Structure 1
Amino acid sequence: MPLDPFFADRLRTHRAYLIRTTLQGFAEKWDQPWLARLAVRLAPPPAPAHGAASGARAVASTAGARSGSGPAAEKSGLGTAVTLGSTPSSAGRSTPTSVPTAPARKRAAPKKKPTRSAHRKAAIAWDRKELAAVGRPGPDVRIVEYLVPVPGRPDVRVRIYYPDLADADADADADAATDSAASIRQPEPDATTERSLVPATLAFYGGGFRIGGIDYPTTDAGFRLRAFDAGVAVVAVDYALAPEHKFPTAVEQGHAALGWLVREAAGLGIDADRLAISGISAGGNIAAAVTLLNRDAATIPLRFQLLEVPVVDLTGKHVDFGPVRALGVPAFLAAREMRSVARTYLPAPADARNPLASPLLAPSHAGLPPAHILTAEYDALRGEGAAYGAALRAAGVEASVVRYLGMTHDTPIFLGSVPAARRWHRDVVSALRTLHD
């Protein structure tokens, strides 16, 4: 099926942006200004918009790229790309004196690259614009945050989105939480509540293991909508990012959060017998890894796992370059991005074969919870989702894999603009509602 017109329009800018910034990066790395000039000829930057700075808006997934980032910082399901600047100018070169001579070309001083913190701040700012332009804000549900201890790893922040709306009688912590800046507090296991226990899903956001978080506006809005529409608590784990915290930190934080959720369920107003686990993109990887750990520990029964456009094989063997070629994006860019993600997340290349890094490679998938897997036609990760579903079924696990035609990796965030994104949301909500059965 052809790419949805919404994504096709944005792809034209994104494709040019990818080519231009890649060639500019090579030009600076190898001190070859002609590459930068070629980049501009092949993919000229867009004309400045009236009253605003020009900028490419990333849309189509190549190696699972998440859209909506632009030149300042491309927020992606599998990584971050930065505009590396223009061709070095003539400033700093020597000038002729009394006798005309060719100017002696000096090697341009390396540009100071933006810090990782600056990348992430820029990505959050762009994400906020995307939510306003093409997304859908979430309802004002009740939210509370906790800090969960993780042995040998950094404590992890967990935010619970309850399905009920915040009201004037809510306590101060919950009121503060509705502004996405909830007070962190400890659970009160012995506390009584008039509210009935609700089912819950332990949820992991996407972002290529190195960007993203529960404070990103589109992520926060999505969790709010899913909690309210499905009538379940969404327990979002703000796992630590690479490269500061490499594998298996995020997986161990996720597993610790699951154990904490079950131990404290009654005090949290959550039914420990009606739990699921879910994740998007890199978050799908972590969710699948946590289910493996949980199965091997034989401790917590999970109703199902909900994996959206998951990356489940960091060796790259199941990346499907068909969508990349169909979008007219050079396949080497997708391969380069995938290698970059693995390099950033994993301590060593050999770790890509660890089942907790690549759940598809687990020796056995028997005994895992049923799986709902959602993939997109124009996503290089579609093959991984299909392969994981096949592996689960081969092991006797109930699994369904649904591919959304004409869609890209980042479809779920476009609820305000793309009808298929709204269908995707309804399908996710339908799966979560089965926790009430």
Structure 2
Amino acid sequence: MDPELEAFTTLLPRVDLSDPVAYRRMYAELTAARPAPDISGLVVEDRTVSADPDVRVRIYRPHQAQGAVVWLHGGAWVVGDLDTEEHWAVPIAELSGAVVISVDYRLAPEHRFPAALDDVHAVLTWAHEHADELGIDPARIAVGGHSAGGNLAAAVALRARDRQGPPIRFQVLNEPILDDRQQTWSARNFTDTPWNTRAVRAAALAHYLGDQPATPYAAPARADDLSGLPPAYIATAEFDPNRDEAIDYALRLLQAGVSVELHQWPGTFHGSLAIQSAEVSQRQVAALCAVLRRALAE
């Protein structure tokens, strides 16, 4: 493991999804303890997207932005909101030059699949329909997210393809969870890695799916056909149960004729790029934003 990251592993709290309400409280407190990001270079606005039910979004607008990314927070589908995601949204907007539309999708287990995906699809549709009002090019809208948010980004790309719209320019899948079957080498062997473990994955999927069988919109790795999807940037962490399914998905996208940039980050673990004092974390965020900037400028 990267020495800078390893120094933090003993300080990280254990993830316990058995009590979602208590874990949300702990997660919010942990995030609030971090220094607030500097938003002086951005215009930040909270909006409500009319849907059934309505969906809250927070928009981060850098100067002279044209493209946008519908950004989806991580948190095992169980935790996370607009406030906790600000530490991701601000640097993405600043470094990529994209308008970041951060989505406050509904959380499990109170709202199981497909509630979160429905919210994401509603926001994506709204962004296209209100592109002029938002000051963005409707042909330059990407989707992206981390972990469970990466799952939702991949899932909404599949749904948009199958429904023939809205069009998506690019997808950013950062350490995504894509497969409910837990059969890859990394899912079977990384049972006690920081933040994410086999047990955490199992609990997250149980909260998200309940007793429903997984469809490709819940677990995109189950999709038989990946052709016609938007180009992708897929990033994986070396010590992450999600690693191999994301690499497999990247290879299958390539085999289906979809352009992919795959970046496997050595010495990292799931979510470790939140430790921004580490040099490797800074490179991870910079790489993600550089790819997004290029994809929305082409």
Q: Is the CA contact (8 Å cut-off) linking 1:204 and 1:287 kept in structure 2? A: yes
Q: Which secondary structure does the structure 2 equivalent of 1:314 belong to?
A: coil
What does 1:38-187 correspond to in 2, within 5 Å? Answer: 57-58=11-12, 70=13, 74=14, 80-81=16-17, 116-129=20-33, 131-132=34-35, 137-140=37-40, 141-151=42-52, 154-164=53-63
Q: Is the 8 A contact 1:204 1:284 kept in 2?
A: yes
Q: Which residue does the alignment assign to 1:304?
A: 170
SS of residue paired to 1:201: strand
Q: Map residues 18-417 of structure 1 onto 2, 5 A cutoff.
A: 57-58=11-12, 70=13, 74=14, 80-81=16-17, 116-129=20-33, 131-132=34-35, 137-140=37-40, 141-151=42-52, 154-164=53-63, 198-216=66-84, 219-318=85-184, 320-321=186-187, 324=190, 329=192, 334-348=197-211, 350-352=212-214, 354-415=215-276, 417=277
1:319–1:383 Cα contact (<8 Å) kept: yes
Return 5+ residue gaps in structure 2 as ranges: none
Quote the offset at 1:323 in angstroms: 6.4
- Aligned with 1:272: secondary structure? coil
Identity of aligned residues (%): 33
- Does the residue aligned with 1:337 lie in a helix, a strand or coil? helix
Displacement after TM superposition at 1:420 (Å): 0.5
Residues 337-393 of structure 1, C-alpha deviations (whole Å, 9 max, x = no match): 222111111031x522x0001101112111000111000111111111101101111
Q: Counterpart in 2 of 1:65?
A: none
How many corresponding residue pairs? Answer: 295
Task: Name the CA shift for 1:250/1:368 in 2 (closer, same or farther; >3 Å).
Answer: same
Give the stretch that moved more between structures: 115-124 or 226-235: 115-124
> Are the counterparts in 1 of residues 73 and 146 from structure 2 also a CA contact under 8 Å?
yes
**C-alpha separation between the residues in 2 aligned to 1:246 and 1:322?**
25
Counterpart CA distance in 2 for 1:319 and 1:286 is: 23
Checking the alignment, whether the CA contact within 8 Å between 2:65 and 2:98 is kept in structure 1 is no
The structure whose Rg is larger is: 1
Question: Could you say which residue in structure 2 is the equivalent of 1:6?
Answer: 4
The 8 Å contact of residues 197 and 266 in structure 1, kept in 2 or not, is answered as no
Deviation at 1:144, TM superposition (A): 1.1
Distance 1:418 1:197 in 2: 29
8 Å contact 2:17–2:203 — kept in the other structure? no
CA contact (8 A) 1:306 1:372 kept: yes
Q: How much does 1:233 deviate? A: 0.2
- Taking structure 1 as reference, are residues 283 and 343 closer, same or farther at Cα in structure 2, changes over 3 Å only? same
Structure 1: any 5+ residue segments left out of the alignment? Answer: 14-56, 59-69, 83-114, 165-195
In the alignment, does 2:263 pair up with 1:429?
no
Contact 1:138 1:221 in 2 (8 A): no
Give distance in 2, aligned partners of 1:323 and 1:347: 25
Taking structure 1 as reference, are residues 423 and 253 closer, same or farther at Cα in structure 2, changes over 3 Å only?
Answer: same
Supply the distance in 1 between the matched residues of 2:65 and 2:246 (Cα, whole angstroms): 33
* More displaced stretch, 355-364 vs 312-321: 312-321
Structure 2 counterpart of 1:27: none
Alpha-carbon distance, 1:322 to partner: 7.2
* SS of residue paired to 1:271: coil
- Change in 2 beyond 3 A, CA 1:321/1:361: closer
Q: Give CA-to-partner distance per residue, 1:158-191, whole Å, 9 cap, x none.
A: 1111013xxxxxxxxxxxxxxxxxxxxxxxxxxx
SS at match of 2:139: strand
Contact 1:323 / 1:377 at 8 angstroms: preserved in 2? no
How many Å apart are 1:128 and its aligned residue?
A: 2.3
Classify the secondary structure of the residue corresponding to 1:351. coil
| Contact persistence 1:204–1:278 (CA under 8 A) | yes
1:155 deviates by: 1.6
Contact 2:5 2:272 (C-alpha < 8 Å) held by counterparts: no
Q: Tell me if structure 1 keeps the 8 A contact 2:188–2:198.
A: no
- Whether the aligned pair in 2 keeps the contact of 1:246 and 1:344 (CA below 8 Å) is yes
Report if the CA contact (8 A) 2:65-2:97 is conserved: no
Alpha carbons of structure 1 residues 7 and 295: separation in structure 2 relative to 1, 3 Å:
same
**TM-score (norm. length: structure 1):** 0.64
Higher RCO (CA-CA < 8 Å; seq separation 6+) = 2
